[in-house]
Structure formats: C-alpha cells, structure tokens
Amino acid sequence: MTPSTSAAGGREPAAQEAGSEPDPRRWRALWVTLVAGFMSLLDVTIVAVALPTIQRDLHASPAQVQWVVSGYALTFALALVTAGRLGDALDRRRIFLLALSGFVVCSAACGVAPDIMLLVVARLAQGLAAGFMAPQNSALIQQMFRGAERGRAFGFFGATVGISSAAGPITGGAILALASGPAGWRWIFYVNVPIGILAVLLGRRLLPRIRRSGRGRVDVAGVLLLGLGVLAFMYPLVQADSGGLGRLWWLFPVGGVLLVGFVQWQRHLVASGNQPLLDLRLFSTVRGYAVGAGVGTLYFMGFSGVWLVFALFYQHGLHFSPLRSGLAVTPFALGSAAAAVVAGRMVERFGRLLTVAGLTGVIAGLGTTALLLRFVSLDIAPWVAAPALFLGGIGSGFVVSPNITMTLRDVPVRMAGAAGGALQTGQRLGAAVGTAALPGLFYLTLNRSGDYRGALVTALVVALVGMVACWALATFDWQRDRHHHHRHRKCPDEIANNPVHARQD
C-alpha cells in the first residue's frame, strides 16, 4: 500500500468511525458544533471594541489590556494541531465537550475577574479551550457527512468562520450599548455562559459516539517543537503594539529553526513507521490541501487586519461609537453569510473557480471602498461604501467556505482533526500577522501625515496586495485542476491508477 493511500491520501470511507449509515441526527449535531465554533471565533474580535472600557474600569496599562486580545489569540493558535491529533487518536466527542465546558467556565471567570492580571490569565485559559475545541468542529463534519452533504456542511462551517470574524465589532458594540455602566464589558463574556451550557447539554445528546481508536501515543517531541516554533512566531506579533516587533525580532529566526526541526522530526517518524503529530504527506499527496492551506493563510492576513483598521478609522477618525462603527461594516458580514451557504452547495460543481471569483469580488469590493472613503465626503462616505462592502462580503463568502471544503474534503477521516488543526493554525498565524501589521501601518502613516483617510487607504492597499497574491495562488490551482481534468478525459485509465490524484471522498 503506497503512502498516499495508507497515511495521507487514500480512499477511506467517511463513515468508518461513525458507522456504515449516516447518523440521522447529524444536521442537529452540526448546529451544536457551529454554535460553539461561532462563540470561540467571535471572541477573537469581539473584545477589541471593549478594550478602552476594560482599561478604565480595571486601571490597566495599554500593554496589559492588549493581552486580553492577544493572549487569547496566542493560546488559541498553540493548541490547534495538538488538539486535532488528540481528537484523531482518542475521542473527538469527548474532547469537544470537555473543551466547550472549559470555554464556558473561563468565560464566566473573565466576567468576574476583579483585576487585569486575573482577566488575562482567564483569557489565556479561554483561548486554550477554544483551540482544543476548534479542530474537532471540522473533524466531526468529516466524520458525520459524505459526498455532496459534506460540501453543504462545510458551507455552513465556512459561513460561521466568516460571520464570526466580521460580526465581532458590531456584536461587541451592541452589548456595550445595552449593558450600561463601567462594568458593562463583563457581559461580553457572560453572554457565552448560557449559550455554552445549552450547547454542552445538546452536544452530549446529539454528537455521535465512536469507539476509542487507540492509535498510538501522541508525539510529545513534535508537540514541543511545533508549539515552541509557533510561539516564537506569534509572540512578537501579539506584542506588536508595545514594540514587540523591534524588541523581539530575533524570535523569528528561532521559530524558523524550530519549525524546520519539527518537519525533520515528523519525516523521521513516518520513515520509521511511527505515528507523527502531523503527517506531512497531507501536503504532498492529498489533492488541494497544500494550496488550500496557503490560500487560507494569505487570505486571513488581510481579512483579519482590515476590521481593526476600519474600527480605528471610524472610532478615532470619525468619532463613531463602537456600535455605529460595527454597523458601518455590517454589509460585509451580511454578504459573507449569504454567499458562504450558497457556495457550499456549488463547490462540488465549480471547485477552485469559486475561490478565484470570490477573491475577485473581495479585491473589487475593498478597493472600491478604499476609493470612496478617500474621496467622498465623510458625511456620506460610510453609506456610499455600503454596497461595495456588501460586494466584498459576497466575495469573501465564496473564498472561506469553498476553500475549507476543498482543503479538507479529501483528507482521510482518521486524520481529519490534525489536518483541520494545521489548516486553522495557518489561518491564526495569518490573522496574527494581519492584525499586527495593518494597524501598525495605519498608525505609522497617521503619525507622519495626520490624515486618517490616507492612513486607511495605505493599510487597505497593503491588504489588497496580499489578496492579489492569494488570488494568484488560487488561479494557479484552478488552472492546474482544469489541466488535470483535461488529462483525465484523454486518458482516464492512467489518471485513475495514479493514487496521488485519486479523489478521496
């Protein structure tokens, strides 16, 4: 049996771990995982609008309060691959429910935190719980669904990812507007508690039970090498607002050395017949995985940082309230939500073309928005820019959802957790780069010129450069896919016998 069929790229029945027949409760179970995933991803951005209130109420320094956001993102990213591997080796349902319960407890602890240090500690623990929960979401979809249904399920999952990222500012603004008083920020965390408890109860009833696989031990050395490598890259980024990039630049080459060591160690384990933390043959033998991971990382670099730049422009430049600032970018979230669900139904037919078309829409929408906010009167600019943001949102829905589907659909179910964790780690690293670089560029331009419009446009143009690079990668994969299908029609027997190109649904 070749490596592509045995470890990373072979055909493996999606129901292998869940039984020969699809679980009749799978769609209700999906909604449980989506609600939990929405909460965990929303908490990446929802807290940003409350930072000034938290700082005043807890008498914190700017550097301390920044850890409320960056600490969560850091531990979230650190846990993903290890959590996915544990789910593959042990029990996804159990890990998901334990992580969700921990997330609820940590949310309550954040809400009652009496000082900034305890709040930061609670946020670090909350991010760790979210990181253990996230890869189980995509793995459970792999486990519960097959064929066209899997595309639809990933469509809903992609919509959840897109909406949660874009809806954070408006949700946080709305909560602050409804919860009056200096301690109103605590409701940003309390709101997770009743929703999370309900999700735990429903999850215990609806999520499929599978036997413990016992597939070897977890690669502890791999966990340490990958974790320390990701930490070395993430830490300067999450400290960017307090000068981390200049002070801690030396961690980037250290992180590079650690990640190279991780790759070599994983290859050694595969060659010696042992179970690695992340089987790197996913990137070489599972069609679409390597490109999909690259597209996701590049896209989240621009996608995540843009919302912080918009918040800075509207709240500081135009003196909008957090709620009004969130409402100004709501058209993007609405377009993304609608398109992501539709795209999930279309991905089996159009494949990577959807990503190319979606990125074209994002580039056109954000580019037009930048021009309008630069030259149109500021009294009407947010209203005039709404249609362009809606177009960009539609494009985003055709990027996130299809890319997740095409990246993970051919991954064997027994590796779904680790593969989903690696995909989301790339997205979190991309998001960390974007949220550090774009606001930093915004402030740099603002300090030199004093022009909020110019600062916004500069940051958006840099984000668009990254989007264009992402578009080029997606276009390359689309053209390669077309060439593959052309060859398949000309010599189907030759292609069918090539395990690297075989479909693995």
Q: Using CA atoms in the order 360, 362, 364, 367, what is the torsion angle rounded to 10 degrees? A: -140
Contact 418, 88 (CB under 8 A): yes
CB atoms within 10 A of CB 502: 17
At 264, list the tokens. Answer: 């070599």
pLDDT, residue 186, reads 92
pLDDT, residue 76, reads 86
The whole-model pTM stands at: 0.76
Flag whether pLDDT at 3 surpasses 50. no
Tokens 């965990």: give the residue.
40
Amino acid found at 97: L
Q: Which of 102-111, 204-213, 288-297, 413-422 has the highest mean pLDDT?
A: 102-111
Amino acid found at 197: I
Q: How confident is the model at residue 120 (pLDDT cuts 50, 70, 90)?
A: very high
Give 155-196 as a DSSP string. Answer: HHHHHHHHHHHHHHHHHHHHHHHHS-STTGGGHHHHTHHHHH
Q: What is the mean pLDDT of the chain?
A: 81
List CB contacts of 290: < 8 A, sequence separation 6 or more: 282, 283, 284
Q: How confident is the model at residue 489 (pLDDT cuts 50, 70, 90)?
A: low
Average pLDDT over residues 426-436: 78
* C-alpha to C-alpha distance for 330 and 389, rounded to whole angstroms: 8
Q: Where exactly are the structural domains of the chain?
A: 23-208+277-496, 219-276
More confident residue, 267 or 164: 267
Q: How confident is the model at residue 241 (pLDDT cuts 50, 70, 90)?
A: low
Q: Which of the 8 DSSP states describes residue 146?
A: -
The pLDDT > 90 percentage for the chain reads: 20
Q: How confident is the model at residue 12 (pLDDT cuts 50, 70, 90)?
A: very low
pLDDT, residue 491, reads 53
pLDDT, residue 356, reads 92
Top CATH class, 23-208+277-496: mainly alpha
At 124, list the tokens. Answer: 């670090």
